[in-house]
Structure 1
Amino acid sequence: MNDLWDINLGQENAVELLTKIYKSNRIPHAFLFSGKEGVGKHYIALQFAKLLNSEKEFKLDYSVQSKISNLSEPYIKLVIPLPRGKGESTDDSDVEKLPQEVLEMIVSEIQKKALNPYYKIEVERASNIKISSIRNVKKIINFNYDDIKYRFILIEDAHLMSEEAQNALLKSLEEPPKGIIFILTTPFEDHLLPTIKSRCWPINFSPLSSEIIKYILMKYFKYDKNIAHNVSFFADGSVTEAVHLIESNFEITIEKIIDVLRFSLALRYNSAIRIFTELIQDQSIDFVKQIIQLIMCWFNDALKDRLNLEDLHFEIARDTLEKFNHKFRKADIPDLIIRLEHILKGIDRKVGLNIITTNVIFEISTIAMR
């Protein structure tokens, strides 16, 4: 196995397929890396770029490796969602009308991504990939670099391309110049046009294990071992989810979730609603979803504890699980989880957060009423 793949960070299947493609000497000109956010699509894309630009018999040019890691052009052209500038038209370049402070923010975010391939680039009001960005790519790929074996166009969050932008990309995907490889990454491949997907070689990425998440949190984000260990079980296979939990004061969040459960089961509705409201106040919809998923996770752990199973997510709160099962031995936990899942789906139907909060607490409290 090549040095570049010695640490594949939980994506053995993707790495195995990419290695076979490399050894076949028949390299597709476009790939679609799909899988949930924060599972290593960007990291593996860079490792693959290094592999294809290595010399024969896996001899590595470390200066080239460094340029690829640093997202340096012309080796890597990174395409990301960008905000719209004041008075910007489709005839303007993708950054032409952006103010200086926004340009500096974009540069800073890309630098952070270069240092940490698991870092999630966040640029204010950047909600889509502009057609002007795609047009810029079409110009760049026609530049001639005979001394570079492969150049990569890495389109992050490809699902954020408008239909117009995707159509503009099609021609380049069909007939790219020699030595140009496109890699589109997305957690939502269904948002891409069938014509885009049909022109890309699909590579699926799996959720990460808690051990891999813990390793990445410590290596790339420099988080403390204990917090990395505790949060890894709740991250749903995603480094991005893990980081969001930590930045949202994970340990306090867990304490408040347990308080919501305790007050709901004691039929102390006002206290439960107050704490739940404090927990989600000024937070994103995704965070609210995450809280409900954590509540469901707690009940799933309660079921595991009842069946004497190990591998609990809420190991740090095992005593609360044991007390629950002692007091509510006959509680229909699977039915409750199904009802909470129904509430979770209501968030996507634009149901008000006050209603969602009340419904979650009511459903939990029904256990104590039976």
Structure 2
Amino acid sequence: MILGHKTQIEILEKILNQEKNNFAFLFVGPEGIGKKTVALHFFEKILGKNPLFHPDFFFLKSEDGKKIFIEKIRKELIPFLSLKPFNAPLKCVLIDDVHLMTLEGQQALLKTLEEPKGKTLIIVVTHLPDLLLPTFRSRLQKIVFFQPTKKEIEAYLNKMKIEKTLLNEILEFSFLKPSFIFRFLENKEKLKEKKEEIFRLVKILKMPLFEKFIWAKELSKRENLKEILGLWVFYFRKLALNEIEKKSISERLLKINEVLSQLDDLTFLISFDKINKQLALETFFLKV
């Protein structure tokens, strides 16, 4: 399902209708707003079926947030692109979270982008384009995606005849992210879990330091820690926006911005495999 992005879809349709053999796009925009969904939508139109089950489709993504190494590019992706399409007009490639590709991997793929073989459509997706090599970015046609507006989301949910109380909760706890919205609609327990994660953080921040450290140990063991931190970031950004709308710089806004800054640091730290997550969480709680 696609929520929003009408302009981006129209632009892509015009470009793909051009008589060219090769297309390479960089989809840029915030996490969880449907960039990958739009890419898969176009691949399905071209291939005539679910691309994940088509021999002319190659999907490259990070495993558990880890780096995408050059071996994947050299040994799998480049050989795939060197072959003619099996029964489709184009060889199709989707690379999700391309910012996790090593610089060596980007350099290896760069030559293919500069001198493409055969008929190809390559779409790479990221919310952190600045982590890509400038030369790599320059070989891709950038399409910028934006978060759907509250009005668009309300219209979508009203069409589905969502009960008013549930609709308001979805709007509040999805932070207007389509990925959250579809997850909540599919399973209401997910909405309950998100609410609990946010309320837990608010409680933790009010606890004595020794209790915060107990929670640091508990949270460090969570496999979905990155997702939890992302949820906290969305929550505090929403609080910051609410304060900004008051058109005054308050002490509360400065505090919220400090928490956001520390959350950004914490999220960056736990992206490293060998980092002591418990220590990183304890440091975060000490500072906020």
Question: What is the TM-score with the length of structure 2 in the denominator?
Answer: 0.72
Aligned twin of 2:272: none
Aligned equivalent of 1:137, options 67, 71, 77: 77
- Is residue 265 of structure 2 the alignment partner of residue 346 of structure 1? no
Residue 231 of structure 1, CA deviation: 3.2
Matches within 5 A, 1:102-181: 124=64, 127-135=66-74, 136-145=76-85, 147-181=87-121
Residue 183 of structure 1, CA deviation: 0.8
Question: Structure 1 301/279 Cα, relative in aligned 2: closer, same or farther at 3 Å?
Answer: farther
RMSD: 4.1
- Is residue 12 of structure 2 the alignment partner of residue 71 of structure 1? no
Aligned twin of 1:183: 123
The residue type paired with residue 338 of structure 1 is L
Question: What is the TM-score with the length of structure 1 in the denominator?
Answer: 0.58
Question: Structure 1 81/285 Cα, relative in aligned 2: closer, same or farther at 3 Å?
Answer: closer
Contact 2:233 2:263 (8 Å CA) reproduced: no
Residue 19 of structure 1, CA deviation: 2.1
Question: Matches of 2:140 and 2:154 in 1, distance apart?
Answer: 28
Aligned residues: 263
Question: Matches of 1:228 and 1:22 in 2, distance apart?
Answer: 36
Q: Give the secondary structure class of the aligned counterpart of 1:77.
A: strand
Q: Which runs of 5+ in 2 are unaligned?
A: 267-278
Aligned twin of 1:201: 141
Question: Matches of 1:21 and 1:292 in 2, distance apart?
Answer: 36
Aligned twin of 1:234: 173
Question: Matches of 1:208 and 1:31 in 2, distance apart?
Answer: 21
Aligned equivalent of 2:235, options 290, 294, 297: 294
Q: Which runs of 5+ in 1 are unaligned?
A: 1-6, 54-63, 83-123, 308-331, 361-370
Question: Matches of 2:231 and 2:210 in 1, distance apart?
Answer: 17
Contact 2:216 2:281 (8 Å CA) reproduced: no
Identity of aligned residues (%): 24
Q: Give the secondary structure class of the aligned counterpart of 1:339.
A: helix
Question: Matches of 2:73 and 2:173 in 1, distance apart?
Answer: 37
The residue type paired with residue 15 of structure 1 is I
Residue 190 of structure 1, CA deviation: 0.8
Contact 1:231 1:250 (8 Å CA) reproduced: no
Question: Structure 1 279/176 Cα, relative in aligned 2: closer, same or farther at 3 Å?
Answer: same
Residue 130 of structure 1, CA deviation: 2.2
Contact 2:22 2:119 (8 Å CA) reproduced: no
Question: Matches of 1:214 and 1:129 in 2, distance apart?
Answer: 39
Question: Matches of 1:202 and 1:255 in 2, distance apart?
Answer: 38
Question: Matches of 2:134 and 2:8 in 1, distance apart?
Answer: 22
Aligned equivalent of 1:43, options 22, 30, 37: 37
Residue 81 of structure 1, CA deviation: 1.8
Aligned twin of 1:34: 28
Residue 166 of structure 1, CA deviation: 0.7
Question: Matches of 1:49 and 1:148 in 2, distance apart?
Answer: 10
Residue 215 of structure 1, CA deviation: 5.6
The residue type paired with residue 24 of structure 2 is A
Residue 348 of structure 1, CA deviation: 3.8
Residue 355 of structure 1, CA deviation: 5.8
Question: Matches of 1:346 and 1:257 in 2, distance apart?
Answer: 14
Question: Structure 1 47/297 Cα, relative in aligned 2: closer, same or farther at 3 Å?
Answer: closer
Question: Structure 1 335/277 Cα, relative in aligned 2: closer, same or farther at 3 Å?
Answer: farther
Q: Give the secondary structure class of the aligned counterpart of 1:154.
A: strand
Q: Give the secondary structure class of the aligned counterpart of 1:21.
A: helix
Structure showing greater radius of gyration is: 1
Question: Matches of 1:186 and 1:9 in 2, distance apart?
Answer: 18
